[in-house]
Chains A and B, each alone.
Chain A
């Protein structure tokens, strides 16, 4: 019984899986089957398969504006699980007509499941536009401006992509770039410029968002796809908010610009044989490093095309073989600038000529022709022949037409002779470590020295030194009974008073009392009087002692 139950369960599972497999489907849906030119619409592919990737068809007739957007949904209803996955694209029609979008497909368990095909009709003016859409369309324009209406093949044209915006626009984006046919194009490094200008009766924002230099290479008319840009235009809805401010709405809009009609003229017939395609205002220059060599020197010859023209597409003429010299593979240098004034710069080959024989050798004449745009005529540049002289006595004399084939031995000799010889090595004791240590020590000392400068000066100490010296002088004078001892005492007192801003000659008792206090002020005043008297009258030794003691006491205080 149990076995039968298990079998029934397996059978039920098998049937449910089979049933799921049978239900797998892929459907394609379009938000609108009839659309206007430049109208964005959505194409969605939906499948209920849980595995496998949806492969979209080729949107050849449409431009994918955004996407793919992926979404998935799983539902469980009454225990039954179902899931949906979808892949969506927002697209814009490129041209009018009826188009069939091929089927998308998905591969599940090795089985390819295809979607239905979509039939889409594109018409102009199909969609009735309301005022907002009308205004959004009128506010958003794009043009391609050309610097010239007619050019020769190889003559550069500058194209400027310009958006004219009458209302604010956000999220501006190029959705289709004009792929110009039969041209070389170079995007110019220029800053995006925007400025305000009156167009018609309205003020518009002019926004130059791209500049390209185009170099046509076949005659005819400049061709390519339209330029398409999209953006969201802010237009008033005509309603007002609570604060009576106008309500705005962002309307997605696509604008397109046609390729400007530029005629590309072929170059006139009768081009000289030396013409290699150069167009513009060009020049061919040959630079020779030296015309005479001696010893083991070599010669450098540069052939350079410079000026303004189609430098990026032309070749520099090659240096023909020069007898008596070994010519190494040239070095190529170029500096080409693309700008609004066209293509300028130079390209050159740098040849190294190593002499093999002694004598004089002819550097042949070079003729090179380009088409001059100033005169609309072919112009030939002629570089006259030149002579190179080799005076190296170690080399064999020139033998034109002789067998000059260089053996490997000769090449190695040239190699040896051409590089400069060894240099003398001056081995010095490595003092870098010593210098580094010394510098660090000196820097530290310098830092300390600066700190020392900032430290306050020991004025007090100096002052006490001065006091000691004066006291010693006075004591010495009194002990030796010097005649000028009281003069010296007065002098010392004068120095002491000066420190407090007092002058001995006109000092008063009150000044001294105010400065030093009543007691000390009186004592100083008495001592000054005693000193003044003692200078004119003899003084007893006992008075000397008492004055000296009084001086010492005062000296300590002041």
Chain B
């Protein structure tokens, strides 16, 4: 399976190098469909969209690359590059404190690595508990207790560090915001490609989006794409 996916990645790169960005994009999309969620994959998707001039989609993918690897400097560079070329009429909203903690944890280690580390501490705790029960009756309970607490803390960090985001970005040239989830209601705002907001509710192909200035509007879900794939 891995070999097959690697072959697809190699062929996508070859297509990209030949300037066939749309074909490369399809290959990379196939990898995403195969549940590959790597920062580098989203980075490469972002590059394809950039070359195709679809800067909204490019921004989504560079944001995804940073979501999975907050220290991906190339993704940050390319995201800045895209941001310079799109007209953001509203500031990108900041996500809550937990999101920041999650990102900080991912900066240190990947979520799976945190979990594996936690498993190691669980195994140590188990060994200590078994030894205490069978061989060394006088062995203090404080050591296995400490390792158990450490294991639980690492497990919680691992869970927190799993990428989460409610941020969404406009991928169409223009997206009209309405006061209600209906195109017959009042138009509230028109946003260009690349603008972003927080999705607070989704209902019948309509997304209720909140902006950094606190205002909210309903948009057609097809005009927006969530950062979290």
Chains A and B are bound partners: yes
Q: Which of A436-469 contact B (CB under 8 A)?
A: 436, 438-439, 442-443, 445-446, 449-450, 452-453, 457
Q: Number of residue pairs across A and B with beta carbons under 8 Å?
A: 95
For the complex, is A427 an interface residue (Cβ under 8 Å from B)?
A: yes
Q: Contact partner of B44 among A422, A426, A427, CB < 8 A?
A: A422
Q: Is the CB of A453 within 8 A of B133?
A: yes
* Residue numbers in A under 8 Å from B51 (CB-CB): 415-416
- With contact pairs A420-B74, A423-B74, A425-B36 given, residues A450 and B129 touching in the complex (Cβ less than 8 Å): yes
Q: Is the CB of A446 within 8 A of B122?
A: yes
Q: Is the CB of B40 within 8 A of A430?
A: no
For the complex, is A432 an interface residue (Cβ under 8 Å from B)?
A: yes
Q: Is the CB of A427 within 8 A of B38?
A: yes
What is the bound-complex CA distance between A555 and B68, given in angstroms? 72
Q: Contact partner of A422 among B43, B72, B77, B132, CB < 8 A?
A: B43
- With contact pairs A425-B40, A442-B119, A446-B125 given, residues A420 and B78 touching in the complex (Cβ less than 8 Å): yes
Q: Contact partner of B81 among A418, A429, A442, A457, CB < 8 A?
A: A418
For the complex, is B1 an interface residue (Cβ under 8 Å from A)?
A: yes
How many residues on A have C-beta within 8 angstroms of the other chain's C-beta atoms?
34
What is the bound-complex CA distance between A428 and B13, given in angstroms? 18
Q: Is the CB of A423 within 8 A of B44?
A: yes
For the complex, is B179 an interface residue (Cβ under 8 Å from A)?
A: no
What is the bound-complex CA distance between A416 and B81, given in angstroms? 11
User: How far is the CB of A462 from the nearest CB of chain B, in Å?
Assistant: 11
Chain B contact residues: over half helix, strand or loop, or mixed?
A: helix
- Minimum CB distance partner of A452 in chain B: B133
For the complex, is B84 an interface residue (Cβ under 8 Å from A)?
A: yes
User: How far is the CB of B115 from the nearest CB of chain A, in Å?
Assistant: 5
Q: Is the CB of A446 within 8 A of B126?
A: yes
Q: Is the CB of A415 within 8 A of B50?
A: yes
- Minimum CB distance partner of A418 in chain B: B81
Q: Is the CB of B112 within 8 A of A426?
A: no
User: How far is the CB of B28 from the nearest CB of chain A, in Å?
Assistant: 9
Q: Which of B9-46 contact A (CB under 8 A)?
A: 9, 13, 16, 31, 35-36, 38-41, 43-44
What is the bound-complex CA distance between A471 and B2, given in angstroms? 66
* Residue numbers in A under 8 Å from B43 (CB-CB): 422-423
Quick one: CB contact mask for A391-435 with B, threshold 8 Å, 1 for yes?
000000000000000000000000110111111111111111001
* Residue numbers in A under 8 Å from B155 (CB-CB): 439, 443
User: How far is the CB of A51 from the nearest CB of chain B, in Å?
Assistant: 29
User: How far is the CB of A408 from the nearest CB of chain B, in Å?
Assistant: 12
Q: Is the CB of A449 within 8 A of B16?
A: no
Quick one: CB contact mask for B118-134 with A, threshold 8 Å, 1 for yes?
11001101100110110
What is the bound-complex CA distance between A457 and B137, given in angstroms? 10
What is the bound-complex CA distance between A445 and B84, given in angstroms? 54
How many residues on B have C-beta within 8 angstroms of the other chain's C-beta atoms?
46
Quick one: CB contact mask for A80-97 with B, threshold 8 Å, 1 for yes?
000000000000000000
For the complex, is A352 an interface residue (Cβ under 8 Å from B)?
A: yes
Most chain A CB neighbours (cut-off 10 Å) among B41, B85, B112, B141? B112
* Residue numbers in B under 8 Å from A428 (CB-CB): 2
For the complex, is A243 an interface residue (Cβ under 8 Å from B)?
A: no
Q: Contact partner of B36 among A352, A427, A436, A445, CB < 8 A?
A: A427
Q: Which of A80-126 contact B (CB under 8 A)?
A: none
- With contact pairs A422-B47, A435-B112 given, residues A429 and B130 touching in the complex (Cβ less than 8 Å): no
For the complex, is A328 an interface residue (Cβ under 8 Å from B)?
A: yes
* Residue numbers in A under 8 Å from B94 (CB-CB): none
- With contact pairs A442-B122, A446-B122, A452-B133 given, residues A422 and B2 touching in the complex (Cβ less than 8 Å): no
For the complex, is B165 an interface residue (Cβ under 8 Å from A)?
A: no
Q: Which of A35-70 contact B (CB under 8 A)?
A: none
User: How far is the CB of B82 from the nearest CB of chain A, in Å?
Assistant: 8
For the complex, is A331 an interface residue (Cβ under 8 Å from B)?
A: yes
- Minimum CB distance partner of A442 in chain B: B122
* Residue numbers in B under 8 Å from A418 (CB-CB): 81
User: How far is the CB of A204 from the nearest CB of chain B, in Å?
Assistant: 40
For the complex, is B5 an interface residue (Cβ under 8 Å from A)?
A: yes
User: How far is the CB of B5 from the nearest CB of chain A, in Å?
Assistant: 5
For the complex, is B6 an interface residue (Cβ under 8 Å from A)?
A: yes
- With contact pairs A435-B115, A445-B126, A446-B126 given, residues A422 and B13 touching in the complex (Cβ less than 8 Å): yes
Beyond A420-B77, A442-B123, 14 additional contacts (C-beta under 8 Å) are A328-B84, A416-B51, A419-B47, A421-B47, A422-B44, A425-B36, A426-B40, A427-B6, A427-B36, A435-B119, A439-B118, A443-B122, A445-B122, A449-B133
Subset of 23 A-B contacts with CB under 8 Å? A328-B84, A422-B16, A422-B43, A422-B47, A425-B41, A427-B2, A427-B6, A427-B31, A429-B2, A435-B119, A436-B115, A438-B119, A439-B118, A439-B122, A443-B122, A449-B129, A449-B130, A449-B133, A450-B129, A450-B148, A452-B129, A453-B141, A453-B144
Closest 6 CB pairs of A and B: A423-B40, A420-B74, A449-B129, A442-B122, A427-B5, A425-B40
